[in-house]
């Protein structure tokens, strides 16, 4: 499965613009980290783009993404990318994180929601105008992007840091990296100011 086919799969199964945007943001963050960690940006990007493709049809952690894996197999996605997608919900799938790509996917998942929310409250609605300090300030406001589980983000970032960066990647460096990745694809995310008009 190539990127075009993956995006068509997303469009087929995901109606909500916010969820599509989330998957594009995670794809961007995964491609960013692939380049830093010697991974294949295409494979890492596909894992990010498709990781939640079945959430609207399998909206429980018992079903997602385990039940969606069969659809991805039918469409020819590499088994090893499917395994990475399964590893982002170990509790539901039993698939543990093993590779740097696995750790990156879970670390990039929820934090993109915080950054998107930080962009959307700015008058410009442009992620390129979001300074890291603004994300950090909002982090402390539990009512802001309340769906983002801060403790989970801290835990999976620490796991990613330990497994891939010898413990040297701290939370706000990671947030800055994901922010930079999202700023690089602002137009694709529709966080380029168009929503302010």
So what's the pLDDT on residue 48? Answer: 98
pTM of the model: 0.96
Contact between residue 119 and residue 112 where contact means Cβ atoms under 8 Å apart: no
So what's the pLDDT on residue 145? Answer: 92
| Domain limits, the chain | 3-196
- The CATH fold assigned to 3-196 is Hypothetical protein af1432 (1.10.3210)
So what's the pLDDT on residue 99? Answer: 97
Per-residue model confidence as pLDDT tens for the chain (197 residues): 999 999 999 999 999 999 999 999 999 999 999 999 999 999 999 999 999 999 999 999 899 999 999 999 999 999 999 999 999 999 999 999 999 999 999 999 999 999 999 999 999 999 999 999 999 999 999 899 999 999 999 999 999 999 999 999 999 999 999 999 999 999 999 999 998 87
| Burial group, residue 39, by CB count within 10 angstroms (0-12, 13-18, 19+) | buried
Which of 127, 133, 93 is closest to 113 using CA atoms? 127
So what's the pLDDT on residue 61? Answer: 87
So what's the pLDDT on residue 197? Answer: 73
- What the block records as the tokens of 181 is 């990745």
* Rounded CA separation 61/130 (Å): 32
């Amino acid at each position: 499965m190539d990127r075009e086919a993956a995006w068509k799969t997303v469009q087929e199964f995901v109606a909500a613009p916010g969820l599509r945007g989330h998957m594009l943001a995670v794809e961007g963050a995964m491609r960013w980290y692939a380049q830093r960690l010697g991974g294949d940006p295409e494979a890492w990007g596909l894992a990010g783009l498709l990781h939640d493709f079945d959430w609207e049809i399998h909206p429980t952690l018992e079903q997602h993404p385990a039940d969606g894996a069969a659809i991805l197999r039918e469409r020819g996605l590499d088994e090893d990318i499917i395994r990475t997608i399964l590893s982002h919900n170990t509790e539901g799938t039993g698939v543990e994180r093993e590779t740097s790509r696995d750790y990156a996917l879970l670390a990039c998942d929820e934090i993109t929601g915080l950054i998107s929310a930080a962009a959307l409250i700015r008058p410009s609605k442009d992620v390129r105008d979001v300074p890291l300090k603004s994300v950090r300030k909002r982090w402390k406001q539990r009512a802001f992007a309340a769906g983002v589980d801060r403790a989970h983000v801290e835990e999976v970032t620490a796991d990613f840091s330990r497994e891939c960066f010898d413990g040297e990647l701290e939370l706000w460096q990671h947030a800055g990296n994901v922010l930079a990745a999202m700023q690089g694809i602002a137009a694709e995310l529709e966080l380029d100011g168009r929503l302010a008009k």
